[in-house]
Amino acid sequence: MLSIHRIRLLATLALVAAVTSPPHSAMAQKRPATAASAKGDPRIARLKAELSAAIDANAKLAQVMTDQVFSFGELGMQEVETSKYLTGVLEEHGFTITRGVAGIPTAWVARWGSGKPVIALGSDIDGIPQSGQKPAVAFRDWIVPGSPGHGEGHNSGVPLNILAALAVKDIMTREKMSGTIVLWPGVAEEQLASKAYLVRAGVFNDVDANLFAHVSDEFGISWGDEPLLSLISAQFKFKGSSAHAAGAPWRGRSALDAVMAMANSWEYHREHMELSQRSHYVITDGGDQPNVVPATAAIWFFFRERDAERVTKMFGDAKQIARAAAQATFTELDSVQVIGSAWRPHFNKPIAEAMHANARQVGTPKWDANDQTMAKAVQKMLSWPDSGLRTTVPPLRTPDEAAKASSGTGSDDIGDVTWTVPSVTLYYPANIPGTPGHNWADGIAMATPIAHKGVVAGAKVQAMTLLDLMIQPTLVVEAKRYFTDVQTKTVKYAPLMAPTDMPAIWLNAEKMARYRDQMRPFYYDPKRFDSYLKQLGIAYPTLAPKTP
Ligand SMILES: [Zn+2]
């Protein structure tokens, strides 16, 4: 999904488990009394400096992983190569992997360490249809025409988490610290199709806190309700009967008529909905050819509203309209399949404050002239103010500011995790301000030094926050207290899908099968090439097509 910070910018520029067993290390004795008082703790400051240096020293791995996942360009539920590769890296570094989590073939959990606290690091891994694009090129240039790609930048988040985890793991090993690091991927985030199932499968049952990471064009950290919408996505399939559309149309019953009746009725109904709703649809099956009355047809809706109650009501209305459409067209409503669901996210205040302090300390990446030239060329191409890459860390955002900045936006199934365990999303600066989101232009920077530097800077913030949680039991306690006494005091989480709903693991299978063989020759080979740009023979930055 589009990062909130980018959404906020678009809006602004529209005029244009309580810790029971403390660490049993020597360090534990000198543990600060409260999270706040840890600020000036010299040991923590020294360890954070060490983390920062270790991550800088591992910058090559950041580039290799980011470029590698970029080159796979896999769509939701089909992240086969991506998951194989990332779990391989983690396994090499001593993590234990559980694959096929929650009945989702490309979902996994990687664990290292032992005992409390258990801190999870998550990030999305899926791509966007038709967003395949050569990196570092400031104009439309496919690698494989028509192919999916990382037009959202989801190739960078798990590499960031791995970098952070490896650095903290080394310190924990040396200091003999108690604690468990858990890594997990957001599968099919673009369809909001996996995280509620991970929650249901118990992935977060023993997790004390969760740090998520999402690409953005700045360090965006906030607490409280995010200005995102809760969502249910569902496909409605209709069944009619075929006949010669000219010879004997009276013998047929068109399932496509039902789809169109449903869509039209929804448009009439839209007039009577609250203004905050967002709903949209595509016809996934409209029949085969005009002279055959369509015996099957299907329409896929996204329903979005501010909270679980409202979105559940919308879905109920849609089911009534679907039944009525079938009746009016003498067809049958064959099935209603939930494909995705998401609660509106809510981020944890104490963890967000700790994370923001770390972001302030790390600062934005050191962009060079090439990075800024690349960014400005992309902004010009998009008719966006060419202000280049951001060089400051914005203040910690409060829910009030978030609400003011919002003009009604997307959704993110991290919401379900945030209502299950204290969580914060780290938005990190690894992309160019002004890109439209879910678009090939969002992929341009994602296998260039802009992404590589953003991943390194983001990994430092993630690692420091992970260390804060590992080393200061009080921070975990405060996070839990906020979660219990404030966030979930009156609002109780219940998944938006039914117990009988199962993950839509068939999503994108056909699309991916169409392109995978053509994309395979372009997978990044780090043994032969220093970077993906070198492999593709692209100069950084490339501002205009070569004239023959
Ligand atoms: Zn996203």
- Which neighbouring-strand residues pair with 111? 96, 182
Please give the distance, rounded to the nearest whole angstrom, from the Cα atom of residue 320 to the centre of ligand 1: 32
Contact 64, 526 (CB under 8 A): yes
Ligand 1 mean position, distance from CA 490 (Å):
29
For CA atoms 204, 195, 498, 507, the dihedral sign is negative
Tokens 């104490």 belong to which residue?
A: 350
Give Cα 163 distance to the centre of its chain: 18
Contacts of 377 (CB under 8 A, 6+ apart): 138, 541, 543
Q: Return the pLDDT at 24.
A: 40
DSSP 283-315: EEE--S-TTB--SEEEEEEEEEESSHHHHHHHH
Distance 414 CA to ligand 1 centre (A): 10
Ligand 1 centroid – CA 410 distance (Å)? 10
Given the structure tokens 């005009």, which residue do they identify?
290
- pLDDT recorded at residue 33: 44
Give 278's strand partners: 304
How many Å lie between the centroid of ligand 1 and the Cα of residue 351? 21
Secondary structure of the chain: what % helix, strand, coil (to 5)? 45, 15, 40
Answer for the pair 237, 337: CB distance below 8 angstroms, yes or no: yes
Q: How far is the CA of 366 from the centre of ligand 1 (A)?
A: 24
CA of 123 relative to ligand 1 center, distance in Å: 9
Residue 7 confidence (pLDDT): 46
Q: How many CA atoms lie within 13 A of 18 on its CB side?
A: 3
Helix ranges (DSSP H) in 126-226: 157-174, 195-200
Q: Are 331 and 271 in contact (CB under 8 A)?
A: no
Q: How many alpha carbons lie under 13 Å from residue 214 in its C-beta half-sphere?
A: 23
Could you tell me the distance, in angstroms and rounded to a whole number, from the CA of residue 296 to the centre of ligand 1? 33
State which amino acid sits at residue 497. Answer: M
Task: Give the separation between CA 113 and CA 118, rounded to whole angstroms.
Answer: 9
Predicted structure pTM score = 0.92
Q: What is the pLDDT of residue 324?
A: 98
The alpha carbon of 122 and the centre of ligand 1 are apart by a number of angstroms equal to 12
Question: Which tokens sit at 142?
Answer: 């496919």
Instruction: Give the distance (Å) from ligand 1 centre to CA of residue 416.
Output: 15
d(CA 360, CA 239): 57
Q: What is the pLDDT of residue 141?
A: 97
Burial per residue of 196-211, b for 16 or more beta-carbon CB atoms within 10 angstroms, e otherwise: bbbbbbebbeebbbbb
Ion ligand 1 contact residues with beta carbon within 5 A: 1, 152
What pLDDT score does 459 carry? 98
- Per-residue DSSP letters for 144-169? STT--B-TT-TTSHHHHHHHHHHHHH
Do the Cβ atoms of 406 and 227 come closer than 8 Å? yes
Report d(CA 30, CA 20) in Å as an integer: 18
> Ligand 1 centre and the CA of 191: distance in Å?
10
Q: Ligand 1 centre from 154 Cα, in Å?
A: 6
C-alpha of residue 486 to centroid of ligand 1, in Å: 27
If you write DSSP's letter for every residue of 59-71 in order, what string do you get?
HHHHHHHHHHHHH
How big is the chain, counted in residues? Answer: 548
> For residues 73 and 147, is the Cβ–Cβ distance under 8 A?
yes
The predicted structure's pLDDT at residue 5? 46
From the list 458, 478, 482, 476, the residue with the least C-alpha distance to 221 is: 458
Distance 441 CA to ligand 1 centre (A): 15
DSSP 482: I
Q: How far is the CA of 265 from the centre of ligand 1 (A)?
A: 31
Tokens matching residue 176:
């003999």
Of the candidates 357, 335, 384, 368, the one whose C-alpha atom is nearest the C-alpha of residue 501 is 335
> In the chain, what is the greatest distance between 2 CA atoms, to the nearest angstrom?
87
Query: Ligand 1 centroid to 190 CA: how many Å?
Result: 7
Distance 189 CA to ligand 1 centre (A): 7
pLDDT at 3: 46
Q: What H or E segment, with its residue span, contains residue 256?
A: helix 255-270
Amino acid in the structure at residue 4: I
Mean pLDDT split into 10-residue runs, the chain, 548 residues: 45 35 39 54 96 98 98 98 98 98 98 98 98 98 98 98 98 98 98 97 98 97 94 98 97 98 98 95 97 98 96 98 98 98 97 98 98 98 97 94 71 96 98 96 98 98 98 97 98 95 97 97 98 98 87
